[in-house]
A and B are shown apart, each in its own frame.
Chain A
Amino acid sequence: MTQAQEEAGSGNYLLEARGITKHFGAVTALRGVDFHVGRGEVLGVVGDNGAGKSTLMKILSGLFAPSRGALIFDGRPIRFQSPHDARDLGIEMVYQDLALAENINIAENIFLGREPVRRLLGGWLPLVDHKAGRDHARQHLDNLHIHVKSVEQRVGELSGGQRQAVAIARATAFDAKLVIMDEPTAALAIKEVGKVLDLIKGLKDRGIGVVLISHRMDDIFYVCDRVMALFHGANFAEAALCDTSRSEVIGWIMGTKEGQGELAHDRVH
């Protein structure tokens, strides 16, 4: 399966990364990682804490520049100066720490960095169109079946699940092609997890690609098409979801592969 895709050529992928290496001073977070995700594909990314998942995603979303390696979007090599460039291409990221400003309201968070503007005095005075922002935010949240009391609520007043939903709404407000989510369910109450996963399924139905980092096998096996594992900053394994199992993926996280891996594991104990 993997081989077949490789032969098909990179033009089929929405976003591809080749040989990504990232150093933070003396720490090497990523060593020559290859990555790809297709249009409308939901890719699960797993790996132990410190495996380099967040770092890879921050490179894909333009927050970090790779020390070495290349990014290819839609078959074309690209270089991001900032998240702004990635967002312009339709690559959005929902950060592990959510990256919402708690002091401003839901609508303003959704449009932060892309505020709707109306021009007064013959174009000389561009002002934020607060009403358009509220209306669009309300409509967008409705489309995603996200319910909040009011889009004018400050984000600081929301529950963890609601914040996650707002962060996802923010990522999808401007026709996104790929939404990268870093452990979106990790900090949520159980009953909120299902809502977020359904939200991800909803994105897939609209043809939006999703990269989902998660430690929860339930998440991975509920929404993903394919899963890849990082181990100590390098590619470790990957498979279509139908070709693998929970226990195998859990093994990948711990750095063991089916067969000889189990033996190695047994020998240690």
Chain B
Amino acid sequence: MTVSTDRSRTGNRTEAEAPGLGIRLLPILDRYGILLVILVMGLVLYALQPDVFFSWRNITNIFKQTAVNSMLAIGMFLVILTAGIDLSVGSVLALGMMSLAVANAAGWAWPIVLLLGPAVGLATGFVNGVGITKLRMPHPFIMTLGMLFMARGLANLISGGVPYTGLPDAVRFLGSAQIELGELDGTRLNLPVGLIVTIVVYLIFWVFLEHSVLGRRIYAIGGNPQAARVSGINVDRVLIFVYSLCGLMAGFAGLMMAGRTNSGFPNAGIGAELEAIAAVIIGGASFFGGRGTVLGVFGGVIIMGLISNTLNLNNVSVFWQQILIGLIIVVAVFLDVVRRGIGTRR
């Protein structure tokens, strides 16, 4: 066995024409280029705001502000990998958030309140998945657009359209707690739990997508659902799982936002689905499915966070933020088109 492997290796070498440096660098850039972009952005921002930007406080702030989008974007990424879309995550966030706030006001025990947000998200995601596969909706756009309205309506219905404030600390823990690390030069170093949650969730998703059977099948389905089907993979079941997981993450985002704001408000997360989609696309995932990485999505989330952070620091209006994010989406996809033009042989 070793012999045959070695033989094939040498055979490979003779057949391969020596590629240029640029071609050999491409896969590495492809994979880690987004870190380079973030590094450059960080340096530029540092140059603009030397005393504020690299402060512990500002860095943790960025992560606190991006925690919700991180959760939505990683779920959205899974869906986009299958060449689908989930427009309902912003509304599902609100529904999860309102459910737990209302349950809390009704005097339910905190463990149930805590689990209710993610559970409601999971349930709506499951409904999306079943609708898309079993009701054979022509496109996930339709089913999740319907859910966008239904979940928002439900969030308003159960709360009477008014915010609920005041949650127990245990429920707020993931979204707002800080771990004290000590002091440095007179400033306290606090690590937001939300940052740890984000990192742990992304690590789990990374292992799941790169190394689990189901994760690899999600990529295959995104590349060619027919190929997956004829390989004996139950594509519908995988899709239901994917939409359920996306819903779960939206509900989880609702829990995080409830924790951060110590409340539930039925208008939460309006337009959040678009920010999640933007982060996924900026992170280099293909809208047509099958391509993208967890690291890329993380990068996309951070880039969006950096933009709003800097512009906030510099008192630039939110309108410019929108224009800039729009520009970055277009430029990111354009660069991707150019890069793929070089990378693929025709």
Contacts and interface: CB of A to CB of B under 8 A. Distances in A.
Same assembly: yes
Interface of A: 61, 63, 82-84, 87, 93, 95, 97-104, 108-109, 112-115, 117, 126-128, 130, 135, 138-139, 141-142, 147-150, 156-157
A108 B213 CA distance: 11
B216 A99 contact: no
B219 A147 contact: no
Contacts of B1: 135, 139
Q: Per DSSP, are chain B's interface residues mostly helix, strand or loop, or mixed?
A: helix
7 contacts: A100-B224, A103-B224, A108-B220, A109-B227, A114-B231, A128-B211, A150-B12
Interface of B: 1, 4-5, 7-8, 11-12, 15-16, 207, 211-213, 216-217, 219-220, 222-224, 226-234, 289-291, 344-345
A52 B52 CA distance: 71
Given A104-B216, A128-B212, A150-B12, A112 B226 contact: no
A126 B207 CA distance: 11
Contact of A112 (B11, B211, B231): B231
Nearest to B227: A99
Residue from A83, A95, A104 with most neighbouring chain B CB atoms (10 Å): A104
A51 to B, nearest CB: 21
B223 A103 contact: yes
A99 B226 contact: yes
B8 A128 contact: no
A113 B231 contact: yes
Contact of B232 (A83, A95, A101): A83
Given A63-B230, A82-B234, A100-B224, 7 more contacts: A87-B231, A101-B227, A115-B217, A128-B211, A128-B216, A139-B1, A141-B8
Nearest to B340: A156
Contacts of A142: 4, 7-8
A104 B219 contact: yes
B223 A104 contact: yes
A98 to B, nearest CB: 8
A138 B220 CA distance: 20
A109 B234 CA distance: 16
Contacts of A139: 1, 4-5, 8
A83 B230 CA distance: 6
A130 B15 CA distance: 24
